[in-house]
Amino acid sequence: MKLAVIYHSETGNTKKAAEFVQAGMAKVEGVEAKAFPIDAVDEAFVAEAKGIIFGAPTYYAVISWQMLKFMQTAKLPFADKLAAAFSTANFEQGGSEIVLENLNDVLLAKGMLVFSGGTSHGMPMTHLGANAFVRDTTIEARQPVLEALGEKFAKKAMELF
Ligand SMILES: Cc1cc2nc3c(=O)[nH]c(=O)nc-3n(C[C@H](O)[C@H](O)[C@H](O)COP(=O)(O)O)c2cc1C
């Protein structure tokens, strides 16, 4: 089963986070996981994918304008696929959870089946998705939660589709 990660990244933090999410997906047998920046999406792969996890950096406590523009303008068949969100920020209190909410809202509006794993799939918890902070800690320090989101998501996709 094909699963995709689509992310916006200017300075590499969200790209690194995307790679951990992708690695988590790939732990599940039968999954082919690929990650794409918003300016190089493999449209054929995404069209075939049963699920997509979206990631964005936090800009002034909301989703980056580049990711929002992509979400609002991309002409891709997102509807009815499983979806989830992750975000990066400098600081734990810097608004990354608002970015998860921004993404989850757009995914719902696009008719995607929004998933997080929340508190129901064990530790580490992924309440609204996964987030990582680069100044308070490092992206690597959040590898467990980023991978967990990818793995829980892939297991659910295999179960559903
Ligand atoms: C214009 C701009 C605004 C930002 N605003 C915030 C913010 O409100 N809170 C925060 O914690 N980090 C903020 N950051 C930091 C980024 O969210 C953080 O470094 C992120 O990981 C960058 O992702 P990237 O390396 O994938 O581009 C901001 C960065 C930029 C460029």
Q: Is a pLDDT exceeding 90 seen at residue 10?
A: yes
**Over residues 122-144, mean pLDDT:** 95
The percent of residues above 90 in pLDDT, for the chain, comes to 98
Ligand 1 centre distance from Cα of residue 27 (Å): 29
Q: What is the mean pLDDT of the chain?
A: 97
pLDDT exceeds cutoff 90 at 155: yes
Burial class (CB in 10 A: 0-12, 13-18, 19+), 122: exposed
CATH code for the domain in which residue 48 is found: 3.40.50.360
Q: Taking a C-beta distance cutoff of 8 angstroms, is the pair 149, 24 a contact?
A: yes
Cβ 36 vs Cβ 70: under 8 Å: no
Q: Give me the mean pLDDT over the 102-121 stretch.
A: 96
What the block records as the tokens of 26 is 């790939």
Residue pLDDT, tens place only, 96-109:
999 999 999 999 99
Helix (H, G, I), strand (E, B) or coil at 135: coil
Does the beta carbon of 88 sit less than 6 angstroms from any atom of ligand 1? yes
Residue 136 has pLDDT above 90, yes or no: no
Number of domains in the chain: 1
82: confidence class by pLDDT, cuts 50, 70, 90: very high
Is the CB of residue 95 below 6 angstroms from any atom belonging to ligand 1? Answer: yes
Ligand 1 pocket, 87 CB below 6 A?
Answer: no
pLDDT at residue number 146: 98
CA distances from 39 to 6, 66, 67, 71, 73 (A): 10, 10, 10, 12, 12
Locate 18 and state its tokens: 């995307």
The domain containing residue 43 runs over which residues?
2-160
Asked if residue 59 has its Cβ within 6 Å of ligand 1, the reply is: yes
Burial of 105 (0-12, 13-18, 19+ CB in 10 A): middle
Coil, helix or strand at residue 142: helix
